[in-house]
Amino acid sequence: MSVPLFPLPNIVLFPGQRLPLYIFEPRYRELLRRVQETGEPFGVVRILRPGAAQGETLTGRVSLVGTLAHLRWAETHEDGTSSVEVEGGERFRVRAFDTSHSYLAADLDLWPLEGRLADLHGMSGQSARLLAGLMRVYPQEAELIRQHAPQGALLLASYAAALLPLSPEQRMRALEAPTLLARIAELLATLPPVPDLN
């Protein structure tokens, strides 16, 4: 599968997460035109190190794991720039970068979360702990968080990853987790401990 890539500094997109983008560079305007014409998604990958040292490869500067971004709406302004909103889809691994366009592209393999039946038994308890922890981090918004929390462990994990005050590296570790339970465990490990009431 070959898709255009949109590298972003310090941004990690998760499945189901909505992300607004402002597109102003000519190469990304071209990427947007391609996406609008074909209906295909593009990949969001994290820039690990901006700029290029002499002889440094893309592999050292751009994450090899990302998320497909599906265009949900786009508005083109008079000056040719665009405001868009995308929604995170499937996770992927980059097989090879393609620099033949004005924008970066890649051949990639979709990388679905591994699932085991045994994982399902612990999922609801871990999801409940994650939601409770998120509300503990933001006590003033606890009721809003509860109201807007999505159903289903995958989307709840994405919701938490977007809201928690995580470093880009912590978000990448969560995205790269092999299973959904492992992703939730990564997020739980970032939460402050439950206060001891004794």
Q: pLDDT tens for the chain, 198 residues: list them.
A: 899 999 999 999 999 999 999 999 999 999 999 999 999 999 999 998 776 544 456 767 899 999 999 999 999 999 999 999 999 999 999 999 999 999 999 999 999 987 655 556 668 889 999 999 999 999 999 999 999 999 889 999 999 999 999 999 999 999 999 999 999 999 999 998 876 655
| Two tokens, residue 34 | 């391609």
Structural domain boundaries in the chain: 2-110, 117-188
Model confidence, pTM: 0.89
pLDDT value at residue 114: 78
pLDDT value at residue 119: 59
92-131 pLDDT, tens digit each: 999 999 999 999 999 999 999 876 555 566 688 899 999 9
Among the listed residues 165, 125, 157, the one whose alpha carbon sits nearest the alpha carbon of residue 141: 165
172 phi and psi, to 5 degrees?
-65, -40
Q: Within 13 Å, how many C-alpha atoms sit on residue 78's CB side?
A: 0
Specify the CATH class of 2-110 in words: mainly beta
Count of other CB atoms within 10 angstroms of residue 197: 4
| Two tokens, residue 169 | 């590296």
d(CA 51, CA 73): 30
What is the end-to-end Cα distance of the chain in Å, rounded? 56
pLDDT value at residue 124: 85
d(CA 197, CA 190): 21
Count of other CB atoms within 10 angstroms of residue 105: 19
Looking at the DSSP assignment, which residues form a beta bridge with residue 21? 84
Helix H or strand E encompassing 86: strand 82-98
d(CA 22, CA 152): 30
d(CA 175, CA 66): 8
d(CA 174, CA 67): 12
d(CA 3, CA 34): 10
